[in-house]
Chain A
């Protein structure tokens, strides 16, 4: 089956620890994205990548880092510098052209205490 997988579904961490969220797609999409969703708010863009080995900051990149070493993978690291890391994180992908749909993974709920 083609699609986007995110793991784990739930993640718990202590404050001060870095944590990496996985995102893999087998849709052969060029572009990949990370969004954050908080209750009562729309999705906000953290980082996006249009091609391998290249990525750009979104609106709320502070405290996060990414890499894009392979076309199918776009992991997100939530660092200890992120002040409010508890949230629902969604990964998405699309063909590189802006006219194509974005498809989303099932999400990872991160809780930091």
Chain B
């Protein structure tokens, strides 16, 4: 059964720093991987979707990469801002069904 892990569970950085969030998965037979942002008490906002045939996707200051062979994805955030403070979740969609399998998230705090 697919397991998705996110390390670290929490991360604190000063404003302006570039940072990388990690996501690993045990079963490389995925359709795609999706990164989300969640603010406290709110729903999830989709950030990036990477199909299994793609290596990376970019949106503004965000860049997500996917390496299926090693079971890893990273979310790169450039020039971090206090408004980036949130919990970031990754989720894989495996080939057994259509539902997402989530990691527990990395809670990011960016200080000004």
A residues at B contact (CB < 8 Å)? 4, 6, 31, 33, 35, 40-45, 48, 50, 56, 58, 88, 90, 92, 94, 96, 98-99, 101-107, 109
Of all chain B residues, which has the CB nearest A105? B43
Of all chain B residues, which has the CB nearest A45? B99
| Cβ–Cβ < 8 Å partners of B75 in chain A | none
Hey, what's the 0/1 contact readout for B79-103 against A, CB within 8 Å counting as 1? 0000000000101010001111011
| A42-B89, A48-B98 known; A101+B34 contact, CB < 8 A | yes
Cβ-neighbour of A58 out of B42, B45, B99 (below 8 A): B99
Cα distance A109–B42 when bound, in Å?
A: 10
B residues at A contact (CB < 8 Å)? 4, 31-32, 34, 36, 41-46, 49, 51, 89, 91, 93, 97-100, 102-105
> In the complex, how many angstroms separate the beta carbon of B6 from the nearest chain A beta carbon?
9
Of all chain B residues, which has the CB nearest A108? B43
Cβ-neighbour of A101 out of B46, B98, B104 (below 8 A): B46
| Cβ–Cβ < 8 Å partners of A4 in chain B | 43
Of all chain B residues, which has the CB nearest A58? B99
Report whether over half of chain A's contact residues are helix, strand or loop; otherwise say mixed: strand
| Cβ–Cβ < 8 Å partners of A98 in chain B | 31-32, 93, 98
| Cβ–Cβ < 8 Å partners of A103 in chain B | 46
Of all chain A residues, which has the CB nearest B5? A42
Cα distance A6–B41 when bound, in Å?
A: 13
Q: 13 A-B contacts, Cβ less than 8 Å apart?
A: A31-B98, A43-B102, A44-B102, A45-B100, A50-B98, A90-B43, A98-B98, A99-B51, A102-B34, A104-B45, A104-B46, A105-B43, A107-B43
Cα distance A47–B107 when bound, in Å?
A: 27
Of all chain B residues, which has the CB nearest A44? B102
> In the complex, how many angstroms separate the beta carbon of A91 from the nearest chain B beta carbon?
8
Cα distance A104–B44 when bound, in Å?
A: 6
Cβ-neighbour of A109 out of B41, B44, B91, B104 (below 8 A): B41
Of all chain B residues, which has the CB nearest A49? B98
